[in-house]
Structure 1
Amino acid sequence: MHAGELLAGLTFPEAPRWWDDRLWFSDFHTHTVRSVGEDGVGRVELTLAGPPSGLGRLPDGGLLVVDMHGRRVLRHGPGGLVTHGDFSAHAGGDGNDMVVAADGTAYVGNFGFDPYAGEPPAPAALFRISPAGNVSTAADGLMFPNGAVIVDAGRTLVVAETYAGRLTAFTIGPDGELTERRIWAELPDGLRPDGIAADPGGGIWVACLTPEVLRLTDGGAVTHRVVCAGRALACAVGGPDDVRLFVCTTEHMNTAETLRARSGRIEVADIRV
């Protein structure tokens, strides 16, 4: 399968989410949260002081946004942006992607090290932020916890460990604790997972930082591939009846180049699998 272009002119699009018949996503280097409809018409939803990363929603519809450099989760409401949960005292690197459970519990990763300063990769924690904003460590020892999904009717969390080349699963307990850590899938050919998305058929789509998105099943079997024009950073399943795969892509990884070239895109493919 091949993806086609839906929206262009972005810098580094990430963390896509399908809400209210639109795809919402972060555009790192313009410090904006944006959205686009299936008609290709985009708009800016929110502007931050620094780069946003993971997005999520609370049960009341309130928007949660990861403030990467601030190492905290912000909540946007009628009064504007406020701090929802601050994990800066515990993180070894910038804030990363996030997934929010149906009860409002957020799980957010961090780099674990500073790649911009040339530090070597180091294990990092996945933080749990309660609906009230209380921060605790849900899991540690993860190699760059990145995209995450909640599957099995809310019973299982699967997170991409970018620097380990695998998807790791946990059982979600009644209080949001994560237990029974296990490997959900190893990526083939030395690929590294970035953003991920679950589909209704039990598969997980994995953006691999290459011009391809893979669909894996529990155990690691590759069932489908979507070829993109740019390097796939993250993906989301959405559209009518969840038959669209939206992919955030770019041709450049360097900040200065992404701002100059504006090669970031939202690409889309039909995935009736």
Structure 2
Amino acid sequence: MPELRTWLTGLGLVESPRWHDGRLYFSDWTAHEVIALDLDGKHEVVARVDSLPLCTDWRADGRLMILDSARGLLLRREPDGSLVAETDLTGLGRGWNEIVVDGRGNTYVNRIGFDMAGGGAFAPGSVVHVSPGGAARQVAGDIAFPNGMAVTRDGSTLIVADSYGNRLTAFDIEADGGLAGRRVWADTGEDHPDGICVDAEGAVWYADVGNRRCVRIREGGEVLQTVDVDRGCFACALGGDDGKTLFILAAEWRMPEMVPPGTGQVLSTQVEVPGAAWR
């Protein structure tokens, strides 16, 4: 069984881990904070946004993009720490959830199609493309519950975790940022994939809240490795000096409280294959 290291405890609902410039960035949705964690264990709050969900990713120009789901805004963090509205998404729906950026400046944002927290009737979700200039348009729909997203190293493919569909769905990224060639990348059986990341061999790690684990899976569905945790795994990211540290964001999950305060943790384990994001 892989050895787990505990980095931080006492957090809330933790999500959206991103390794960037020697630090792990992640969001504490309960505290409405984006936090940066150094490998020496020091951490700081780099942004506060009153939103849940609260997901982020990095652009190639070094700016942090923050999805303010509550207001339907895609924000850009400037070098001085100020937040600027990049795109208004309100005309394209509500329920904004996850975000991923590729090396060409395309930003993909997804949304669930119903009010889960409020007990609304189920409806499928969608994926929106935001161009480098800030124009937004829907590029995929009919996804049962779009969750974590990742772009392959060559920038050719977007992979979306469809939590309610128990699968990872892939799309070809077209020259204008549109999506085509929809296909099932992998069936995840009884697992409901949440946050995901891609490694150097093209495999995907996904986090599973209900089954309290992270799973490494190959295209086609072959399970390569499993890391079990004592609480729900919401998201994972590969990072560290050699890219072989799998960071896991975990917390207790139970309804109707969702995540009891203080149960969120940042964990990690060492793996053999490093990460391979476009950056």
Normalising by structure 2, we get a TM-score of 0.92
The size of the alignment, in residue pairs, is: 270
Residue aligning to 2:46? 45
Residue aligning to 1:18? 19
Contact 2:248 2:268 in 1 (8 A): yes
Cα distance between partner residues in 2 of 1:154 and 1:124: 23
- Equivalent residues in 2 for 1:1-273 (5 A)? 1-77=2-78, 78=80, 80-91=82-93, 93-188=94-189, 190-209=190-209, 210-253=211-254, 258=259, 261-273=261-273
Contact 1:32 1:52 in 2 (8 A): no
Q: Which amino acid aligns with 1:85?
A: T
Cα distance between partner residues in 2 of 1:215 and 1:126: 24
Deviant stretches of 4+, over 3 Å: 252-258
Q: Which amino acid aligns with 2:192?
A: R
Q: Which moved more, 1:215-224 or 1:244-253?
A: 244-253
Unaligned runs of 5+ in 1: none
Q: Which amino acid aligns with 2:123?
A: A
Cα distance between partner residues in 1 of 2:33 and 2:204: 27
Normalising by structure 1, we get a TM-score of 0.94
Shift of residue 253, structure 1, vs aligned partner = 4.7
Cα distance between partner residues in 1 of 2:206 and 2:234: 9
Name the structure with the higher helix share: 1
Cα distance between partner residues in 2 of 1:222 and 1:270: 18
Shift of residue 152, structure 1, vs aligned partner = 4.7
Unaligned runs of 5+ in 2: 274-279
Q: Which moved more, 1:34-43 or 1:155-164?
A: 34-43
Cα distance between partner residues in 1 of 2:234 and 2:255: 13
* Percentage of pairs with the same residue: 34
Superposed CA offset, 1:28-61 (max 9, x none): 0111000112222221111113335221122211
Shift of residue 145, structure 1, vs aligned partner = 1.1
Q: Which amino acid aligns with 2:27?
A: S
Contact 2:47 2:81 in 1 (8 A): no
